[in-house]
Amino acid sequence: MSGVLAGTDGLLRCPWALSTPDYVAYHDTEWGRAVHGDDALYERLCLEAFQSGLSWITILRRREGFRKAFSDFGIAAVAAFDARDAERLLADEGIIRNRAKIEATLANAKVLAGWEPGELDTLIWSHVPEEPAPAPRTVTEVPAITPESTALAKALKKAGIRFVGPTTAYALMQACGLVNDHLADCTSRDPARSGAAAAGGARPPAPTGTA
């Protein structure tokens, strides 16, 4: 697969979106749209980390299970989890039961609980590219790592955030609208849906509170 493909409704979409109805909904209503708020971004950061080594559909189909297990990814709530919660999570069939990823999720919440409101949002959104990349015409033109994602991963690690590398950071940037990687002819390409506005890659103002 390379360029856009038409779905059963006739709309042109990125080819990966047509492999399952779950992907169609995610592609059309979420992927590439701006996400703000500390809790919301913490959730995306955690889910991207859990996705490492797996397909995104595996995570997407368990997202409600993750939200239930991790108190809707409220940073303050997860920061209060203890060893009993860790063991509970390891036995929860509704999530990915990977000890290293679970421990990183809990540890990251404890770090972020000490940050000022809006600080995670500000850090992540400060890595929007200064200039938007040309719209990719095929999936082969979509990068897996960029200088900005490398810088974001380094900034997060320096701040004490675990289980995030340049590839995970770029997936986060794609999912949360810091970049617009919908293919050029994709129906969802409209840059107004993305936080990485077309006008010179302008960075939207960060909010002052959590989601």
Task: Look up residue 98 and give its two tokens.
Answer: 């990977």
Q: Name the active-site residue from 23, 31, 42, 48.
A: 48
Q: Is 88 helix (H, G, I), strand (E, B) or coil?
A: helix
Radius of gyration over alpha carbons of the chain, in Å?
17
103 catalytically annotated? no
Q: Name the active-site residue from 56, 103, 115, 119.
A: 56
125 catalytically annotated? no
**Rounded to an integer, what is the distance from CA 155 to the centroid of its chain?**
16
CA-CA-CA-CA dihedral for 30, 32, 34, 35, to nearest 10? 60
Residue 179 to residue 2: CA distance in whole angstroms: 19
48 catalytically annotated? yes
User: For the range 102-107, what are the long-range contacts, defined as Cβ-Cβ under 8 Å and sequence gap of 24 or more?
Assistant: 104/49, 104/162, 104/163, 105/46, 105/49, 105/50, 105/70, 105/78, 105/163, 106/78, 106/79, 106/81, 107/162
Task: Look up residue 55 and give its two tokens.
Answer: 């397909």
Contact 70, 105 (CB under 8 A): yes
Report which residue type is found at 198. Answer: A
209: number of Cβ within 10 Å: 11
Question: Active-site residue numbers?
Answer: 26, 48, 56
